[in-house]
Structure 1
Amino acid sequence: MGRMNVSNEALLGLVAEMVMDDAIRTYKEKNLYQQIDSALAEGDEASFLALTAELKSIQSPG
């Protein structure tokens, strides 16, 4: 039975890490979208291009 508990704890730890990683990525994306909107409103092309490149790197799989 001890082995089963260790496996379950490891699995729960991995799930918790995945949930946290997703929450962080979602927060970063929202923040970048807000910054991109501001760059567009201000006509700041350089910031817009840098921010959209960063957003693409966050959204691209692995």
Structure 2
Amino acid sequence: MDKMKATYETMLALVAEMVLDDAVLKFRTERIYRDIDLALASGDEDTFHRLAEQLNALRFSH
């Protein structure tokens, strides 16, 4: 029974980690989109390109 409990706790920890990773990814993505919008509104082309690269790296790393 202890082995089953340990397995269950391990699975719960993995699910919790996946949920947290998803939340962090969503937060970072939304923040980059917001900052891209600000860069576009202010005409800051360099910041736009830097943020677009960050967004692409974030998308393709997951």
Displacement of 1:61 in angstroms is 3.9
Residues 1-62 of structure 1 mapped to structure 2, 5 A cutoff? 1-62=1-62
Q: Paired residues, what number? A: 62
Q: Give the distance between the partners of 1:11 and 1:56, measured in 2 at CA.
A: 31
Q: What residue ranges of structure 2 are gaps of 5+ in the alignment?
A: none
Q: Residue 39 of structure 2 aligns to which amino acid in structure 1?
A: A
TM-score of the aligned structures, taking structure 2 as reference length: 0.95
Q: Give 4+ residue runs of structure 1 displaced > 4 Å after superposition.
A: none
Q: What residue ranges of structure 1 are gaps of 5+ in the alignment?
A: none
Structural RMSD (CA) = 0.8
Measured against aligned partners, the alpha-carbon deviations of 1:2-53 in whole angstroms (never above 9, x if no partner) come to 0000000000000000000000000000000000000001111100000010
Q: Give the distance between the partners of 1:12 and 1:60, measured in 2 at CA.
A: 27
Q: Residue 8 of structure 2 aligns to which amino acid in structure 1?
A: N
